[in-house]
Amino acid sequence: DIVMTQTPLSLSVAIGQSASISCKSSQSLKYSDGKTYLNWVFQSPGQSPKRLIYQVSKLDSGVPDRFSGTGSETDFTLKISRVEAEDLGVYYCCQGSYSPGTFGGGTKLELK
């Protein structure tokens, strides 16, 4: 199975600052169709997860452009510019390129 490793485990930021989360996979996530199925999902406290970004960099509908995703092959990054209070919670990267789909351990974004 592909192992997804996220860093850091937690991140303390002030409102208005930027935040960056790294996700590394144990093998390339580029599928045979040329696409890379790396998603980012967000879970706010007490809520179910919600997808923010798919295929590395494509924002889901309604997701603010303060969020951006970059990367390729095995190294990926989620960046949040100008963090807002509603962004606090846990972020997970996950891969759907190969079965079984696997998730990173999560990064908790907290208020400084």
Partner 1 sequence: EVQLVETGGGLVQPGKSLKLTCATSGFTFSTAWMHWVRQSPDKRLEWIARIKDKSNNYATDYVESVKGRFTISRDDSKSSVYLQMNSLKEEDTATYYCTRGYTDYWGQGVMVTVSS
Q: Which residues bind partner 1 (CB under 8 A)?
A: 39, 41, 48-51, 54, 90, 92, 94, 96, 99-103, 105-106
3-state secondary structure of 78: strand
In terms of CB distance, is 63 or 81 closer to partner 1? 63
| For partner 1, the closer CB: 41 or 56 | 41
Return d(Cα 85, Cα 54) in angstroms, integer: 23
Smallest Cα–Cα separation from 13: which of 81, 93, 92, 91? 81
Least distance from partner 1 to the Cβ atom of residue 106, Å = 6
Which residues 6+ apart lie within 8 Å of 34 measured at CB?
none
- Minimum CB distance to partner 1 smaller for 8 or for 18: 8
Shortest gap between Cβ of 82 and partner 1 (angstroms)?
25
- Sign of the torsion angle spanned by Cα atoms 18, 89, 49, 75: positive
Distance between CA atoms of 38 and 4, rounded to whole angstroms? Answer: 10
Query: Which of residues 41 and 80 has its CB atom nearest to partner 1 in the complex?
Result: 41
Q: How far is the CB of 51 from partner 1 (least distance, A)?
A: 5
- Residue 56 Cβ vs partner 1, minimum distance, rounded to whole Å: 14
